[in-house]
Amino acid sequence: MNLSDHIALAALAAGKEILKVYENEFTVAYKTDQSPLTLADSKSHDIITQYLEQTPYPVLSEEGRDIPFEERSTWPYYWLVDPLDGTKEFVTRTGEFTVNIALIHQGKPVLGAVYTPVKKWLYIGSEGEGAWKLELQDHQLPENWKEAGQRLPLKLDQERSYTVVGSRSHKSKETDAFIAKLEKKHGQLNFVSMGSSLKICLVVEGTADIYPRLAPTMEWDTAAGDAVARSAGYQVVQYENGDPLLYNKENLLNPWFIVQR
């Protein structure tokens, strides 16, 4: 089995387990930074780890992040995982949360899967091969998923208004100022609020034109979506200098970034 199939199956299995928690009553704990944590986070982490331990590469997950830089800096390849991206969306039941799995090589995401269990959308991107979106009827991966899926970017209506996608739960005054400049340039804007790494994917598929993230994120928040973007010929670039995001830094905090067509 190739790695694209493997991480897709891992993401789908994790998504099914997440929904078992989501569809019932659950309790919410809080980390030291006050971000929410649920049983779904840990269950998803366990399932994905079981899949990825079958590969030759080590795993760095949001739910297992305490690996010293001295150790992980020696990794040429490793998996970077967010078992449940958008826990706030999970808690408020918007359905806009994702499972994110990415393979990083020398600071660059080269393979990624983003799965949203409620919507059953699966995005997969592989360097040198391309990127796809699958709209699944259930949580099963079709055998011929590249033929069953839609190649990204999609061929959509380009006559629509200039569309900005932004965070539902992480706004900033800097983002508001950036959007105001876009409005002066493009006129009336269409603004789409969305949670989790789906924002990156909406730009890549062509539903939105730009996603400005002028607020904090961590490397595991963006890696899988970034892999899909790069595989489709897009870039997730640093706001300050236009360079691509880098991964496996000593400090895992991302700089501000822009995703655009």
* 87 marked among binding-site residues: yes
* 175 marked among binding-site residues: no
* 82 marked among binding-site residues: yes
* 53 marked among binding-site residues: no
State how far Cα 250 lies from the chain centre: 21
* 209 marked among binding-site residues: no
Give the amino acid at 31: K
* 221 marked among binding-site residues: yes
* 92 marked among binding-site residues: no
- Could you tell me which residues are annotated as the binding site? 62, 82, 84-87, 221
- Could you tell me which residues are annotated as the binding site for substrate? 62, 84-87, 221
- Could you tell me which residues are annotated as the binding site for Mg(2+)? 62, 82, 84-85, 221
